[in-house]
Amino acid sequence: MTIQEQMVKLAREARQATEIMANLSSTVKNDMLRRMADALQRAASEVIAKNAKDIARAREKGLSAAMIDRLVLNEQRVAAMADGLREVAELPDPVGEISDMRRRPNGIQVGRMRIPLGVIGIVYESRPNVTADAAGLCLKSGNAVVLRGGSEAIHSNVAIGTVLKQELLAMGLPGGALQVVTTTDREAITELLKLEDDIDLIIPRGGEGLIRFVSEHSRIPVIKHYKGVCHTFVDASADGDMAEAICINAKVQRPGVCNAMETLLIHKDMAATFVPRIVAALEARGVEIRGCSVTRELAPQVRAATEEDWGTEFLDLILAVRVVDGLSEAIGHIRRYGSLHTEVIVSNDYRNTQRFIREVNSSVVMVNASSRFSDGNQFGLGAEIGISTTKLHSFGPMGLEDLTTRKFVVLGDGQVRD
Amino acid sequence: MTIQEQMVKLAREARQATEIMANLSSTVKNDMLRRMADALQRAASEVIAKNAKDIARAREKGLSAAMIDRLVLNEQRVAAMADGLREVAELPDPVGEISDMRRRPNGIQVGRMRIPLGVIGIVYESRPNVTADAAGLCLKSGNAVVLRGGSEAIHSNVAIGTVLKQELLAMGLPGGALQVVTTTDREAITELLKLEDDIDLIIPRGGEGLIRFVSEHSRIPVIKHYKGVCHTFVDASADGDMAEAICINAKVQRPGVCNAMETLLIHKDMAATFVPRIVAALEARGVEIRGCSVTRELAPQVRAATEEDWGTEFLDLILAVRVVDGLSEAIGHIRRYGSLHTEVIVSNDYRNTQRFIREVNSSVVMVNASSRFSDGNQFGLGAEIGISTTKLHSFGPMGLEDLTTRKFVVLGDGQVRD
């Protein structure tokens, strides 16, 4: 079979599996996830042995230590994957929920029932745990899933997928509900992205390059976020201690993730006291500051920010700092350079916090809290399948519910239209 | 300016207008819509004069009487457009609603605020009233709108758009919020569909050809429905009188619309009595029946249905009729030939109605009511901007709320992440 034929077959099988998967009870789905978790732990040594092949190849290819660390599976990490599946089993099942049921004047009742999307395609890189995590969320929400991981983790991904699929089959469920693409040829992605009749949604997870590639080649709707250029604005009325704690947490606690702060905006009336203080505090924690001219007057050791630094996702201990005239300039800066991910205002001014909430059009808008909270788990959505910075379907961190849609249900007793 | 430059400029102006439009109060938006309605009625004679040009050209080109009737504007139809705008002014404003605000264990409050999508592009054919209807819904929901109607109605559309835009400007609001494409060159559509940075959503309204063209050429998310092949299944336990009334209404009341019934499925245990009865009733109303072999045994005058008749949207007084073994075969038929629009079961069997509701995966599933109710107005959504038969973002009839999305709002008092 050509790669095209393989992909068509695999997506078609997934589509066929949706008939069964969409109508499973929560009990069966939760049981399935727990069996998968147990099976994964029982098979840990085989999975780790397959993973060793990926690691060996990564070493041969001279991948960085950080990259290799992302790839590595050990007993602990396999156990963490299994626990992830068990946690998804504990989450409430969104499927079947009926809401907004209202009686119309003519007596028909009109409401909406939550249903799975159908077939979800996940295109991802490196971390093999995505195989189990994404499969768990898609299956729990009644969907079938097609998983296409990166070539660097192919042995690990196939090993994990095989273990999970065996449990599906052992329960008499359709194996087509969980498809792992076994070829590492990039053509497999472009072929999958054409199958709009059999795949309902594509979620790419990885670097900006992968995400752009997927969204440019897909005929299927894509939910994506390119990058997280998160801003914190310290208003004139901010509590200095709170602002310092929030900025340090947002920048330093885990700088390599998309909800870390990348640009700090400071109200000019706070600048004289807050700029020297926060620069010192961050420098003491190893952060390199790149500042505007006002910042550099107040902290001369700071390097000048270039135009490119505004809007850059450093993903590192680097921070761009700008002093602004006030809230309007801060909002304007965010609108121009932001990525619609997460923005924070630290303020004690009622009117300004209200305006910030209303006028900043990012997917997450926060008052007096660290941007590091911008996460499905922290928001109470349960495990997170991704973050959307485009507004259609979902905007912001996405949980189980975002893998579903709603159909209309109409209950009549013989009504016809005039 | 080239067409490409014109479209870029027009979409950019629409994007810039969103900053203002997204934050208007409901009072201002409702006032704007009522002023637009009044202005449209005051300008009725000019609009009708421009419309006469379109009609003259349509006659020259030899368009059918039905097509010309769709194009015609008169005092009554202009008044109906104005009333449509006034009705939209009366609808509740979805923007700004905050829901699901919950306190997390660490004290942050996480909720969701409804916001406009941004810039909506509407690509449509014939009926000039779409210009006012779509503009009203998009503006009421805080969006900017780019309208690209068909060449056959260009003078009417531009005339209506100009009247509406004058009211925007007279109120000191940005004219860019309402953009009417004045060129009839098809290149304008393909150029618009590339502007993913400045247009957030495309809604095509028209024939299947237009919708396929738009969805194949768009880099912007498209919400679409290709066709409405609506099924009615008359179960063994159905009340015969109710089933007859529903079928007649669904087929005859307005056969040319997407929520009319196109295929009737009849349980075999009902066939002996119901087939002759419904065939006679429908034939008496001018409906041509195309039946399966069992149907033809019971009503020999009926013409044989071809394979192509299943799944055809006749939009006319034609009905395909099939006798099925039971609910499973009915659901299987709908799954194979349906278009995910609207399906009806007529039944008094609890288990079967529950199964039909759960297992039929169309956007609207009805029990004991005519498919003709499948409509935003009938469902209480207010005026309808379109119907989606794809599951992402919206599924089924779409109202004002479907032109919005939700962002996360987080209220803290200094929390940082551990």
Distance of CA A7 to the CA centre of its chain: 25
Residues 305-364 of A with CB under 8 A from B: 335, 357-359, 361-364
The mean per-residue pLDDT over the stretch B53-77 comes to 93
Q: For the ranges A126-135, B106-115, B284-293, B303-312, which has the lowest average pLDDT?
A: A126-135
| A63 and chain B in contact, CB less than 8 A | no
Cα B231–Cα A9–Cα B396 angle in degrees, nearest 5: 30
The CA-based diameter of chain A, rounded to the nearest angstrom, is 79
Short-list A115, A110, A283, CA closest to B392: A115
What pLDDT, on the 0 to 100 scale, is given for residue A206? 87
Burial B170-186 (b: 16+ CB within 10 A, else e): eeebbebbbbbbeeeee
B218 DSSP 8-state letter: -
Query: Which chain A positions have a beta carbon within 8 Å of B394's beta carbon?
Result: 405
Torsion angle defined by CA atoms of residues A127, A128, A130 and A132, in that order, rounded to the nearest 10 degrees: -160
Query: Which chain A positions have a beta carbon within 8 Å of B373's beta carbon?
Result: 108, 410, 412, 415, 417
**Is B220 exposed, middle or buried, given 0-12, 13-18 or 19+ CB atoms closer than 10 A?**
buried
The mean per-residue pLDDT over the stretch B362-388 comes to 94
- Cα–Cα distance measured from residue A389 to residue A395, given in angstroms and rounded to the nearest whole number: 6
Q: How confident is the model at residue A146 (pLDDT cuts 50, 70, 90)?
A: very high
Cβ atoms < 10 Å from Cβ of B247: 28
Query: Which chain A positions have a beta carbon within 8 Å of B216's beta carbon?
Result: 219
The mean per-residue pLDDT over the stretch B217-240 comes to 94
With a cut of 80, say whether residue A126 has pLDDT above it: no
Share of chain B above pLDDT 90, in %: 94
Q: For the ranges A281-290, A398-407, B374-383, which has the lowest average pLDDT?
A: B374-383
Amino acid letter for position B319: L
pTM of the model: 0.94
- Cα–Cα distance measured from residue A146 to residue A293, given in angstroms and rounded to the nearest whole number: 50
Q: Say which of A370, A407, A411 has its CB closest to residue B396.
A: A407
Cα A38–Cα A40–Cα A45 angle in degrees, nearest 5: 125
Parse chain B into domains and list their residue ranges: 3-224+396-410, 230-378
Question: In this structure, are residues B154 and B125 in contact, taking their beta carbons and an 8 Å threshold?
Answer: no
Judging by DSSP bridges, how do beta strands A178-180 and A144-148 pair with one another?
parallel
Cα B283–Cα B233–Cα A418 angle in degrees, nearest 5: 60
Q: Say which of B19, B104, B380 has its CB closest to residue A102.
A: B380
Q: What is the DSSP string of B221-252?
A: -B-------EEEEE-TT--HHHHHHHHHHHHH
Q: How far is B334 from chain A (nearest CA, A)?
A: 13
With a cut of 90, say whether residue B224 has pLDDT above it: no
Question: In this structure, are residues B118 and B407 in contact, taking their beta carbons and an 8 Å threshold?
Answer: no
Q: How far is A105 from chain B (nearest CA, A)?
A: 9
Judging by DSSP bridges, how do beta strands A230-234 and A342-346 pair with one another?
parallel
Q: How far is B400 from chain A (nearest CA, A)?
A: 14
What pLDDT, on the 0 to 100 scale, is given for residue A67? 87
Task: Give domain A230-378's CATH number out of 3.40.50.720, 3.40.309.10, 1.20.810.10, 3.40.50.2300.
Answer: 3.40.309.10
Cα B182–Cα B186–Cα B189 angle in degrees, nearest 5: 80
What pLDDT, on the 0 to 100 scale, is given for residue B30? 98
What pLDDT, on the 0 to 100 scale, is given for residue A191? 97
The mean per-residue pLDDT over the stretch A345-368 comes to 97
* First and final C-alpha spacing in chain A: 56
CA distances from B213 to A163, B205, B216, B298, B397 (A): 43, 12, 5, 43, 22
What pLDDT, on the 0 to 100 scale, is given for residue A224? 87
Which distant-in-sequence residues (6+ apart) come within 8 Å of A58 by Cβ? A67, A68, A71, A152
What pLDDT, on the 0 to 100 scale, is given for residue B407? 98
The mean per-residue pLDDT over the stretch B355-382 comes to 96
The mean per-residue pLDDT over the stretch B6-28 comes to 97
Q: Tell me if residue B21 falls in helix, strand or coil.
A: helix
- Cα–Cα distance measured from residue B229 to residue B54, given in angstroms and rounded to the nearest whole number: 32
Question: In this structure, are residues A7 and A195 in contact, taking their beta carbons and an 8 Å threshold?
Answer: yes
With a cut of 90, say whether residue B66 has pLDDT above it: no
- Which residues are bridge partners to B388 per DSSP? B396
Question: In this structure, are residues B339 and B227 in contact, taking their beta carbons and an 8 Å threshold?
Answer: yes
Query: Which chain B positions have a beta carbon within 8 Å of A201's beta carbon?
Result: 392
Question: In this structure, are residues B166 and B39 in contact, taking their beta carbons and an 8 Å threshold?
Answer: yes
- Written as six digits, the tokens of A283 are 């420098």
B310-339 residue pLDDT tens: 999 999 999 999 999 999 999 999 999 999
With a cut of 80, say whether residue A105 has pLDDT above it: yes
A181-234 residue pLDDT tens: 999 999 999 999 999 999 999 999 988 899 999 988 998 999 988 889 999 999
With a cut of 80, say whether residue B126 has pLDDT above it: no
Task: Give domain B3-224+396-410's CATH number out of 3.40.605.10, 3.40.50.620, 3.40.50.150, 3.30.365.10.
Answer: 3.40.605.10
A49-76 residue pLDDT tens: 999 999 999 999 999 988 899 899 999 9
The mean per-residue pLDDT over the stretch A380-386 comes to 89
Mean pLDDT of chain A: 96
| A162 and chain B in contact, CB less than 8 A | no
Q: How confident is the model at residue A314 (pLDDT cuts 50, 70, 90)?
A: very high
What pLDDT, on the 0 to 100 scale, is given for residue A416? 98
Question: In this structure, are residues B121 and B222 in contact, taking their beta carbons and an 8 Å threshold?
Answer: no
Mean pLDDT of chain B: 96
What pLDDT, on the 0 to 100 scale, is given for residue A385? 92
What pLDDT, on the 0 to 100 scale, is given for residue B215? 87
Share of chain A above pLDDT 90, in %: 94
